[in-house]
Structure 1
Amino acid sequence: MHAMQYKITLPNDYDMTIIKDRVKKNGSKTDEFPDLLFKVYLISDTPTKKEYAPLYIWKDDKGMNQFIFEGFYDNILASFGWQHINIAVPVEVDTSDAFTQAKYMLEIEQRIPETNRMTVPEFSIHDTTELGKILVYNPDKWAYVECYFFEERPDYLASKGTVYELLHLSLPKK
């Protein structure tokens, strides 16, 4: 299993309806994409941060390689230019039956400190209103990321990380 995300930082005066319309028109193209566990189309739209940050959880690398190298990622290149793709290893992917009702995601980025004894990263928030959560790590950067999914905007947790609006959720064929 692999996690993949690219974060496209946009100018503060960028009209985010452009991204919303893009996802409304094209988001379903990754519905049932081969080897995709799910993809969430995320945006941050605040006065100080405008960002488009799709997050993918892949079952294996075959589908991810198809997406990157067989023309699908070319749409990102054509629209936004060369982007760095963050790749991570999932530690835990936990989604409830209500996961499809998620409208927001809280992302918390953490460092993995230098140590003589490795321990598995853990979730720092335990909230009964979450509809799902993901914990991924990247040993190349010695960092991990916690993602929590909610139906209601978790403003009470906003100081912990970045709250993204979830525009579309692509899922595998049932």
Structure 2
Amino acid sequence: MHAMQYEITLPADYDMGIIRYRVATKGHLLDNYPGLGAKAYLIRERGVDDSPVNQYAPFYLWNTPEGMNSFLWGPGFQGIVDDFGRPEVQHWTGMAFVEGVASGAAPSTKVAKAAIRCRRRIPPGTPVGALATQLVYEAKQLARQDGALYAAVAIDPRTWEALHFSVWDHASPKGQGDVFQVLHLSAPERHTLPKGQQW
């Protein structure tokens, strides 16, 4: 599993209805995309949930590097580049994926309302093996909370940053990190994302 996100920060007076319309008319295009576990179409609005910015920041969990590459080098990402310029694409090595208590027997693409992303630096000297085990445990704990659809943890070994990402079926989840609104969830291969620890 590969986690990926790009953030497009927009002017303070930007009409976020433009982004909402964009997702409403184009979000379904990835609903059957090969190699994509899940894409959460995320926004933050200045002044909402303590956000200091307006931002469009989709978050991806890729099942295959081929799927991720075909998106990045294909017309989907080129559309972002054409409209907003080329953003920095952040990516992390997946450590664990856990379905949440609210996901039910068949994951739904229609009930996601919010997401939380928590990033933290891994201090020098931290035993990385023990940290990885702790991150997996934390993902399982997140997924057990009421309203959790799924949780994932990942690490960027270039910058030594740990990431928690969780998606919720209600608009005001409790947790540390940046809170995003989910406008749409494409999850064509979420059911085949490797569950639990990934090493």
| TM-score normalised according to structure 1 size | 0.90
Q: Which moved more, 1:96-105 or 1:68-77?
A: 96-105
- Tell me how far apart the structure 2 counterparts of residues 41 and 141 of structure 1 sit (CA, whole Å): 25
Letter in 1 for 2:75: G
Paired position in structure 2 for 1:4: 4
Deviation at residue 116 of structure 1 after TM alignment? 6.0
Whether 1:154 aligns to 2:172 is: yes
Paired position in structure 2 for 1:34: 34
Whether 1:92 aligns to 2:102 is: no
1:20-73 C-alpha deviation (Å, 9 max, x unpaired): 000000000111101111111000112321110101111111011111112221
- Tell me how far apart the structure 1 counterparts of residues 155 and 62 of structure 2 sit (CA, whole Å): 14
Q: Which stretches in structure 1 are left out of the alignment for 5+ residues?
A: none
| TM-score normalised according to structure 2 size | 0.80
Deviation at residue 82 of structure 1 after TM alignment? 1.4
- Tell me how far apart the structure 2 counterparts of residues 65 and 113 of structure 1 sit (CA, whole Å): 31
Paired position in structure 2 for 1:111: 121
Whether 1:128 aligns to 2:132 is: no
Letter in 2 for 1:73: F
Whether 1:78 aligns to 2:82 is: yes
Deviation at residue 151 of structure 1 after TM alignment? 1.4
Deviation at residue 149 of structure 1 after TM alignment? 1.6
1:60 counterpart (54, 64, 68):
64
Deviation at residue 155 of structure 1 after TM alignment? 5.3
Paired position in structure 1 for 2:195: none
Whether 1:172 aligns to 2:176 is: no
Residues 1:82 and 1:115: Cα distance change in structure 2 (over 3 Å): same
1:50 counterpart (54, 58, 62):
54
Q: CA RMSD in A?
A: 1.9
Tell me if structure 1 keeps the 8 A contact 2:112–2:184.
Answer: no
- 3-state SS of the aligned residue for 1:153? coil
1:112-136 C-alpha deviation (Å, 9 max, x unpaired): 1111632215228646212211111
Q: Which stretches in structure 2 are left out of the alignment for 5+ residues?
A: 192-199
- Tell me how far apart the structure 2 counterparts of residues 155 and 135 of structure 1 sit (CA, whole Å): 18
Q: Give me the identity figure in percent.
A: 31
Tell me if structure 2 keeps the 8 A contact 1:106–1:154.
Answer: no
